A and B are shown apart, each in its own frame.
Chain A
Amino acid sequence: MKLKGKAHLFGDDVNTDEIIPARYLITSDPEELARHVMEDADPDFAKKMQRGDIIVARKNFGCGSSREHAPIAVKAAGISCIIAKSFARIFYRNAFNMGLPIFESEEAADKISAGDELEVDMASGLITNITKNETYQAGSVPEFMQNLIKAGGLMESVRSKIGAK
């Protein structure tokens, strides 16, 4: 499966309070959360972005709280994946558990410019920068975690394992 979209750049240490501020945690409705995605990092982001677009950030993306509202908001907004130099531990886990694809690549984070058209191969982690005609290889994702994404997240995966609806 290939993900395709335009790059939106963010810096180092983007934290979960910027991705989805705690003032919106009184709801877990994905659509409502999506309206406020990245609000405290860029108040206009939800308006600027289009479905399929890709967030490209630097180191330690998603640091801070364990709130799943962060990957839920990003996914529900229609961001197809996140590319960063590195991810904070709990966000990394939560993204896979929520079925949001994320990729670690120093080179991609260094070379991609705002607005570049990107294509990401889910299985291989190969990132193609169509605008610049470059490719970058993201770190590999363990198979069981790829399966989480394929299943649509941890809940779906557990549901199918225990045969529940």
Chain B
Amino acid sequence: MLLALLLCYAGFTALCLATDRHHGELLRSKPTPARRLGLRALGWLLLTLSIWPAVAVTGWGQGLVEWCAVLMLSALLLVLLLPYRPRLALILAGVGVLASPVAAFGLF
């Protein structure tokens, strides 16, 4: 479930950065259209990808339930962190991306 969580969280952060408002708040600049598109694609890619580790470990039934739970909770965590600890929210996403290969390695 950990790998799915890391990927979901990073995915949501990318989607969040793809919006003008949050990109401005977090990185103090307006994203270029290409960057916005790239972030959006990356976000959706990570979210889609996160299904795989959840399902691979516990099968479709339980895996999808866990994936949904992780999806909701990672978004909730990000939204609660953003106004209070914006830097931490970004750092966590970075750590998540970096740690996911390790977590993937631990899976198999």
Partners in one complex: no
| Chain B interface (Cβ < 8 Å from any Cβ of A) | none
| Chain A interface (Cβ < 8 Å from any Cβ of B) | none
